[in-house]
Amino acid sequence: MDTLTIIAIVSIATAGLSIGIGVIGPALGQGRAVSSALTALAQQPDAASTITRTLFVGLAMIESIAIYCFVISIILIFANPFWNHAIAQVGGH
């Protein structure tokens, strides 16, 4: 296997696995947050605006963590510096 192929397959496998494993936490965390928001709404409907506002801030924070994973995956597929260097080395492009 030449250099390009090796870098390609490692990038593919890593991108897939890191997003695959990485969504477990954020999804469970968001599920928990949403779940508590709904319980809270049922308990105190008058505080709906504060609750939903806090919920959205929290979901955004957790989503940001999931996006770290997504960003790394996308970087590894579409903006991989090691791949770019190898391409430049080979002279192809």
Residue numbers 46-75 binding its own copies by CB under 8 A: 46-48, 50-52, 54-59, 61-66, 68-70, 72-73, 75
CB of 86 to its own copies, least distance (A): 7
Picking from 63, 58, 71, 73, the residue whose alpha carbon sits closest to that of residue 16 is: 73
Residue 91 touches its own copies, criterion: CB under 8 A? no
Q: What DSSP line would sit under 24-45, residue for residue?
A: HHHHHHHHHHHHHHHHHHHH-G
Residue 27 touches its own copies, criterion: CB under 8 A? yes
Residues 51/25, Cβ–Cβ less than 8 Å: no
Residue 24 touches its own copies, criterion: CB under 8 A? yes
